[in-house]
Amino acid sequence: MLCGAGRDRDVLTQQLQRLGIVPVVVDAMSEPVAQEPCDLVFIDVDVGRHSPALGGGVDIPQDRPVLALIGSDVPSAVEWVIEQGACGYLVKPIRGTGILASLVIACHVFEERTTSTRTISELRHRLKARQLVCSAAIRIIDVFGIGEDEAFHVLKIGSMERRTTVEDLAAMIVSGELSVQALGSDVEARRLRV
Amino acid sequence: MKSVVPIGILFSTQGPYGTVSRAMRDGAMLALEEVNADDRFDFRLEPHVQDPEGVPAAYLSCAQRLLREEGIKHVVGCYTSSSRKEIIPSFEKHDALLWYPSHYEGFETNDNVIYTGAAPNHHVLPLMDYVLRHVGRDIYCVGSNYVWAWENHRIVRELTQVSGGRILGERYLQVHDCDVDRIIDEILDRRPSFVLNMLIGESSYAFYRAFAEARRSHEALHDTVIGSCTLCEPELAEIGASACGGHLSSSVYFSTVETRVNQAFRDAYRRRFGERAVPCADAEASYNTVHLLARALTGTTPSEIEAVKRSLYGVAFAAPQGQVSVDSENNHSFLVPRLGVSRSDGTFDIVRESAEPVRPDPYLVWVDGTGVWASWNGRRRELTNRPRLRVIR
């Protein structure tokens, strides 16, 4: 909890304790939030926004859900909250009501965001490798004289047998690290099934 | 016999913004005395004064004393947004009204607050509209490290970018901090045509003094203009004659407004607070607020705040700045935007003036930020002759 001493911090602390959560208060002026071992971060916007040049800047962790405590609707404050990647917010003055809901939603948003980010990253990688996979498939077609669907299937079986991804196997073939002939047994297995 | 209506007066007479806050209390007290001396009102306003002395946490205890212990339903008070936000929950809890006379950054409408000071479409928009057309587009922003400056700087960044200008720097000082040398050095280095000063109180006075000093020894700063949405008459006196002249200020009131009502207000203010006392926008806002409150209370039960609000929405007060009324849609006020250039004698030359009161737009949804002065069609005194903006030695 990056939050100045006062009523808001007291209410939040009390409610978190009721929920079985151990609150750790961080002094923005002395220690970066990121170094605290915690599962969830609350940041009071009016404390967090203080200019880093004045020693009040905070190092916002990206690997944990962040909830902002907002005291004003001014767009500059909202912009700041968005820039910090907050997954939820509470409106000051803080009341006990709504803290649990905000907390659960923030954790859910964080999980979903983390999963989406990972999926998008994987898809980007596969998209980038698409040309390599096609090139590898064309070589397999040329060498073994099989059809397009069979070539992709061979790549799939080959990657499974070598415990790697289709994209990495394709890259090995295109770069010459693995000769196309080495996939002969996979082609045979495919032919026998056909 | 007149009934008595207790009114809370909540301003700091000490602390970093004590000069302005004292003027606010003075304006409120003058109006209160006028109301009490006026036979048209069948009640007497009884002031219950609390002074948080500029300590943020003290606002809450002062407000609670007024609302909980004294059962007061109407409090005129607060200068900073942080103090207002601190006490609003108490007003909600006790079903009371905070009459807030300060200009502020907007983006709030609370059913328990009447906003009688300028909204952003009354202060920063007209200032920047003028600056970007007539002063320059290389802008440097300096302000006190809290929401007032943060939000106004955001608005200025957007307006400047839209007009093709550049923000050459954006720096903040803590409210108490008067160490402005680093900022002056940076301004000297970056040479902006306009410096937006969103510092408040002592920091701001120190900045004007240091800037004047730097301008005396650096020819390059002679054409640099400083503008503010807070600079007012008692602050010019604090800054001192050698540094206070030639600065732009956007305000709905200057003591030099040429109206009969303002002449009477100026005279009354001097009679009450001394021959050298000069009213400012913040004093006028508090003065208007108490007069609006008294008119809203007429014929209503003071403790029924919804009835008082309904009554208020029908009130138009002939204020020193012009006609002032409250918009029922957002509890903010119709006010008359003006631009002034400060003089070394501690007053302002008014160089722009809206022809009529402008509807408050606390969320900046009705104005696109361009051409406000053209559409307002008010008084225009050309200010293209730059020497008028120079320090008057």
Percent of chain A beyond pLDDT 90? 58
Mean pLDDT on A21-47: 77
Tell me, what CATH number does A141's domain have? Answer: 1.10.10
Among candidates A51, A79, A93 on the partner chain, residue whose Cβ is nearest the Cβ of B145: A51
In this predicted structure, the answer to whether residue A53 has a pLDDT above a threshold of 50 is: no
The CA-CA-CA angle for residues A113, A119, A122, to 5°, reads 140
A89 and A24: one domain?
A: yes
**Structural domain ending residue among the three candidates A97, A115, A146:** A97
- The runs of H, that is alpha helices, within chain A are 7-18, 45-48, 75-83, 99-144, 148-161, 166-175, 184-193
Residue A1 domain-assigned?
Answer: no
Residue A2 domain-assigned?
Answer: no
Residue A111 domain-assigned?
Answer: no
How many residues would you count in chain A? 194
**How many CB pairs lie under 8 A apart between chains A and B?**
48
Cβ of residue A119 closer than 8 Å to a chain B Cβ: no
Distance from CA of A38 to the nearest CA of B (A): 28
d(CA B50, CA B65): 9
Q: Are A73 and B154 inside 8 Å of each other by CB?
A: no
In this predicted structure, the answer to whether residue B371 has a pLDDT above a threshold of 90 is: no
Which residues of chain B lie closer than 8 angstroms to A75, CB-CB? 107, 151, 154
Show which residues on chain B lie within 8 Å of chain A, measured between beta carbons.
Answer: 57, 60, 81-82, 85, 89, 105-108, 145-147, 150-151, 153-154, 171-172, 174
Mean pLDDT on B332-343: 97
In this predicted structure, the answer to whether residue B388 has a pLDDT above a threshold of 50 is: no
Q: Are A53 and B172 inside 8 Å of each other by CB?
A: yes
Q: Are B106 and A51 inside 8 Å of each other by CB?
A: no
A17 and A80: one domain?
A: yes
Note down the domain range covering A79.
7-97
Return the CATH number of the domain spanning residue range B3-118+258-334: 3.40.50.2300
d(CA B358, CA B287): 19
Whole-number average pLDDT of chain B: 92
A75 and A15: one domain?
A: yes
Q: Are B108 and A73 inside 8 Å of each other by CB?
A: yes
Percent of chain B beyond pLDDT 90? 86
Residue A117 domain-assigned?
Answer: no
Which residues of chain A lie closer than 8 angstroms to B108, CB-CB? 72-73
Cis amide leading into A93 (omega within 30): yes
Return the CATH number of the domain spanning residue range B124-256+337-389: 3.40.50.2300
* pLDDT tier for residue B393 given thresholds of 50, 70 and 90: very low
A135 and A60: one domain?
A: no
ipTM, two decimals, is: 0.72
A22 and A59: one domain?
A: yes
Residue A12 domain-assigned?
Answer: yes
Which residues of chain A lie closer than 8 angstroms to B57, CB-CB? 6
Look up tokens 């004393």; give the residue.
B65
Q: What is the per-residue pLDDT for A191? A: 65
Convert the pLDDT of each residue in B15-64 to its tens digit. 888 888 999 999 999 999 999 999 999 999 999 999 999 888 899 999 99
Residue B303 in tokens: 């403790």
Distance from CA of B346 to the nearest CA of A (A): 33
d(CA A152, CA A113): 32
By CA distance, what is B81's nearest residue in A?
Answer: A72
A164 and A128: one domain?
A: yes
Domain spans of chain B? 3-118+258-334, 124-256+337-389
Task: Say yes or no: do domains B3-118+258-334 and B124-256+337-389 share a fold.
Answer: yes
When mean pLDDT is compared across A165-169, B110-114, B321-325, the lowest value belongs to A165-169
By CA distance, what is B154's nearest residue in A?
Answer: A76
In this predicted structure, the answer to whether residue A55 has a pLDDT above a threshold of 60 is: no
Greatest CA separation for chain A: 77
Q: Are B106 and A75 inside 8 Å of each other by CB?
A: no
By CA distance, what is A75's nearest residue in B?
Answer: B151
Residue A90 domain-assigned?
Answer: yes
> What residues of chain A, 129 to 188, have a C-beta less than 8 Å from chain B?
none
Q: What is the per-residue pLDDT for B50? A: 97
Q: Are A6 and B85 inside 8 Å of each other by CB?
A: no
d(CA B50, CA B52): 7
Question: Domain total for chain A?
Answer: 2
Per the CB < 8 A criterion, the answer to whether A167 and A129 are in contact is yes
A85 and A136: one domain?
A: no
A79 and A135: one domain?
A: no
A79 and A139: one domain?
A: no
Among candidates A50, A71, A79 on the partner chain, residue whose Cβ is nearest the Cβ of B85: A71
d(CA B276, CA B40): 31
DSSP secondary structure letters along B8-67? EEE--SSSTTHHHHHHHHHHHHHHHHHHHH-TT-SEEEEEEEE--TT-HHHHHHHHHIII
More confident residue, B372 or B276: B276
Residue A76 domain-assigned?
Answer: yes
A17 and A92: one domain?
A: yes
Q: Are A6 and B57 inside 8 Å of each other by CB?
A: yes
Mean pLDDT on B96-121: 96
Residue A32 domain-assigned?
Answer: yes
In this predicted structure, the answer to whether residue A187 has a pLDDT above a threshold of 80 is: no
